Amino acid sequence: MKKTIIGLVVAAACALCVSVAEAQITLTWDDTGVLSSSVPTGFDTVGNFSSMVIANPGTGTIDVLLTLSAGYTFTGITTTFTVTGTAGNIVTFSSPTGGPLTLTGGSATASGYSFPDILTSGGTTLNYTVTANTPTAGDLTFSGISVSGTITAVPEPVNYALAGFGLIFVGGGAGRFYLARRRSSTAS
């Protein structure tokens, strides 16, 4: 009987080992828009930028496609990048979220700008969208783009079901053990 109880406790403990694996990652692209880091676990693919330039008048979008693997989320997403253009211009973004950049000396580096969390598998496009480039129109060139965040493996619902059944079996086994012990002590 003790072996049965120990077995049930071990089974329940194993079922309760429903953990969430997570890691901080950084994706980096070179100045031509090609991914220069390897594709990390949790992503099926990480694309390249088709262009690193928003042409005159300097409003528009450059983007990259990220494809999460099933069962993963990508959260706390921030980006760092440099924009080069007409000296003194103020560049305003609608995406990623962050304040306007002033191109002092013709360039500025943005740090800590953020994107919304990616909570579902499949393809998600990260857009770098410039809504204003003033007072002088002109090309904007992006470089040094990196994206950081937390990639998390989300446990499947079946793991929680196994944990629940493990607890039911442990409770049932413990109850049977307790009742059998109680009966044997009242019979004596």
Residue 57 C-alpha from the chain's centroid: 34
Closest CA to 78 of 150, 178, 4, 175: 150
Report the pLDDT value the prediction gives residue 13, as an integer from 0 to 100. 52
User: Which residue do the tokens 């077995």 mark?
Assistant: 7
Amino acid letter, residue 8: L
Q: Give CA–CA dist 155/103, Å, rounded.
A: 45
Report the pLDDT value the prediction gives residue 154, as an integer from 0 to 100. 85
Output the pTM of the full model: 0.75
Report the pLDDT value the prediction gives residue 35, as an integer from 0 to 100. 97
Report the pLDDT value the prediction gives residue 37, as an integer from 0 to 100. 87
Q: Which residues of the chain have pLDDT under 50?
A: 8, 15-16
Q: What is the pLDDT of residues 110-141, one digit of tens each?
A: 999 999 999 988 899 999 999 999 999 999 99
User: Are 84 and 140 in contact, with CB atoms under 8 Å apart?
Assistant: yes
Q: Give CA–CA dist 114/144, Å, rounded.
A: 16
Report the pLDDT value the prediction gives residue 156, as an integer from 0 to 100. 60
Q: Give CA–CA dist 170/26, Å, rounded.
A: 43
Report the pLDDT value the prediction gives residue 183, as an integer from 0 to 100. 75
Instruction: Give the pair of three-digit tokens for residue 139.
Output: 């090309």
